[in-house]
């Protein structure tokens, strides 16, 4: 059986490709400047830890992007693998047995640490971070600035595919401290200790999925589009902590509240979850059904966009 150690040994001696620099890479706030900065790992630390037998690196980029160049030893994962295929609501969290199979396939053991990244805006990587939190695995961090920052720091990428790791032994157990369901959102309506956050962009607010979704938002929800959380062109990393804090506080979203965030569908809500956790918000949950569930049900109340709060 292939062990983690032999798996990592298999990526030594690979041919590294020249890295591509991103001319518009902004100066990023250091991970330590965020109250919840332990969720981030800087490129330098990741580079120093490559080869650690208890470190799993995941690349959540599209497959063709991963194949064009990735961090040495990184396994490819995809956000759609974390959703349930046989569900009327698109984007719901994957169930068993696929959930356990997914974790075994990346070789996840209880004493491991995971670093996840992508070449892109980070939504896929954030989905994987939240997914691991939701199934009870907390030793996971996001590469600060993603693959763009890794390359800009001068670290190499490779096209070589890593060997498959031996099956992992971690057993998932859902954590409802980070996962909200429909009854939780209904209970939050009108509750001053709770705050519902809509992270859809203007384009996503207009999306009806060919008439299956209504237009509007959950009554009382605060609007903080996921795109407003990021800096860079294209967007690739979180804003500095003071900017994020101002953004959320100006929308009436406070650390002492129970925060339930939703997007067009559940996977797109994870980036807001991560941003709030970076600010040290202690109680943040992703509404698993998101607008894909709420907007499709005529029995659930909606607030028209014209009447919605900013």
User: Could you report the per-residue pLDDT of 39-54, keeping only the tens digit for each?
Assistant: 999 999 999 999 999 9
Last residue of a domain, one of 110, 129, 158: 158
Beta strands 230-231 and 222-223 are unpaired
> Looking at residue 234, what is its pLDDT?
75
> Looking at residue 164, what is its pLDDT?
92
Within a domain: 169? no
- Partners of 237 in beta bridges: 231
- Determine what percent of the chain is predicted with pLDDT higher than 70: 91
Instruction: Judge contact between 272 and 224, C-beta under 8 A.
Output: yes
Instruction: Judge contact between 159 and 67, C-beta under 8 A.
Output: yes
Is cis: bond before 97, omega within 30 of 0? yes
Within a domain: 212? yes
> Looking at residue 233, what is its pLDDT?
79
Band (179; pLDDT cuts 50, 70, 90): very high
Within a domain: 168? no
pLDDT at 309 over 80: no
Domain membership of residue 53 as a residue range: 4-158
Band (8; pLDDT cuts 50, 70, 90): very low
pLDDT for 150-174, tens place per residue?
Answer: 999 999 999 999 999 999 999 999 9
Residues 13 and 152 in one domain: yes
Residues 111 and 13 in one domain: yes
Band (236; pLDDT cuts 50, 70, 90): confident
* Residue linked to tokens 């962009």: 201
**Window from 21-35, 87-101, 172-186 with minimum mean pLDDT:** 21-35
Residues 8 and 109 in one domain: yes
- Determine what percent of the chain is predicted with pLDDT higher than 90: 86
Residues 112 and 209 in one domain: no
pLDDT for 182-209, tens place per residue?
Answer: 999 999 998 999 999 999 999 999 999 9
Residues 11 and 154 in one domain: yes
> Looking at residue 283, what is its pLDDT?
99
**Calpha distance 227→229 (Å, rounded):** 5
Residues 142 and 189 in one domain: no
pLDDT at 310 over 90: no
Residues 127 and 183 in one domain: no
Residues 77 and 131 in one domain: yes
Residues 28 and 126 in one domain: yes
Q: What is the mean pLDDT of the chain?
A: 92
pLDDT at 23 over 50: no
Residues 288 and 252 in one domain: yes
Within a domain: 185? yes
Within a domain: 252? yes
Number of domains comprising the chain: 2
φ, ψ dihedrals at 197, nearest 5°: -120, 125
Within a domain: 173? no
Residues 153 and 189 in one domain: no
Q: Which of 172, 150, 154, 170 is nearest to 74 (CA)?
A: 150
Band (135; pLDDT cuts 50, 70, 90): very high
Give me the CATH number covering residue 239: 3.40.250.10
Residues 201 and 134 in one domain: no
Within a domain: 292? yes
Instruction: Judge contact between 50 and 72, C-beta under 8 A.
Output: yes
Could you tell me the maximum CA-CA distance found in the chain, to the nearest angstrom?
A: 60
pLDDT at 216 over 60: yes
The full DSSP string for 61-104 is: S-HHHHHH-B-TTPEE--GGGGB-SS-SSTTPBP-TTHHHHHHH
Within a domain: 96? yes
* pTM for this predicted structure: 0.91
């Amino acid at each position: 059986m292939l062990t983690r150690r032999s798996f990592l040994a298999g990526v030594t001696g690979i041919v590294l490709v020249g890295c591509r620099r991103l001319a518009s890479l902004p100066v990023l706030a250091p991970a330590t400047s965020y109250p919840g900065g332990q969720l981030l790992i800087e490129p330098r630390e990741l580079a120093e830890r490559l080869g650690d037998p208890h470190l799993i690196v995941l690349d959540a980029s599209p497959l063709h992007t991963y194949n064009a160049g990735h961090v040495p030893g990184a396994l490819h994962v995809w956000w759609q693998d974390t959703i349930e295929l046989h569900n009327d609501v698109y984007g719901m969290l994957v169930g068993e047995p696929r959930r356990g199979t997914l974790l075994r396939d990346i070789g996840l053991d209880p004493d491991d640490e995971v670093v996840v990244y992508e070449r892109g805006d980070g939504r896929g990587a954030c989905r994987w971070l939240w997914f691991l939190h939701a199934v009870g695995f907390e030793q996971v961090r996001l590469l600060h600035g993603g693959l763009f920052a890794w390359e800009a720091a001068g670290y190499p990428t490779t096209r070589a595919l890593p060997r498959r790791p031996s099956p992992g032994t971690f057993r998932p157990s859902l954590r409802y401290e980070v996962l909200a369901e429909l009854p939780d959102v209904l209970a939050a309506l009108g509750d001053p200790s709770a705050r519902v956050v809509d992270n859809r962009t203007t384009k996503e607010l207009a999306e009806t999925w060919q008439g299956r979704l209504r237009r509007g938002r959950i009554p009382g929800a605060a609007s903080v589009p996921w795109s407003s959380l990021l800096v860079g062109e294209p967007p690739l990393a979180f804003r500095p902590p003071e900017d994020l804090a101002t953004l959320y506080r100006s929308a009436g979203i406070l650390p002492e509240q129970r925060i339930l965030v939703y997007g067009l569908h559940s996977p797109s809500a994870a980036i807001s979850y991560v941003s709030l956790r970076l600010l040290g918000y202690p109680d943040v949950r992703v509404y698993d059904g998101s607008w894909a569930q709420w907007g499709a049900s005529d029995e659930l109340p909606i607030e028209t966009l014209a009447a919605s709060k900013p």
